[in-house]
Amino acid sequence: MASNFSIDTSTKNKGGQIDWATSERFVKEFSEAMVSMNKGQLNEEPIRSNFGYHVMQLMDVRLASFPSYDELSDQIRKDLITQTRDQLISALRDSAKIEKFEQEKIPD
């Protein structure tokens, strides 16, 4: 159906196939329909969103995998250092006292 009728240029040539994605990636109506479906299920009625009407079949489901602490520890460390530095700079700026300085003119 998608190959013949879809106006979505990003998926039409793939028969409407969408790669692995979490439901948060999609508009509310599409997302709600997707998470309510069972593996292999075809929606009974088209889902309407601001992008048009959608006929869906949930082909497969898999659990999202999250990186381990060891994989993220270097990035976490860098982020904490950056956050601490930015807070220190902000605190120093807030407490800085700026005085107006007028330079004396030197006679010619």
pLDDT tens readout for residues 76-87: 999 999 999 999
pTM value is 0.51
Average pLDDT on 17-46 reads 87
**Spatial contact of 28 and 20, defined as CB atoms under 8 Å apart:** no
**50-88: string of b/e by CB count within 10 Å (b at 16+)?**
eeeebebebeeeeeeeeeeeeeeeeeeeeeeeeeeeeee
Q: What is the pLDDT of residue 78?
A: 97
DSSP state of 68: -
pLDDT at res. 7: 83
CATH of 2-54, one of 3.40.50.620, 3.10.50.40, 3.40.50.2000, 3.40.50.300: 3.10.50.40
Residue 3: pLDDT band with limits 50, 70, 90: confident
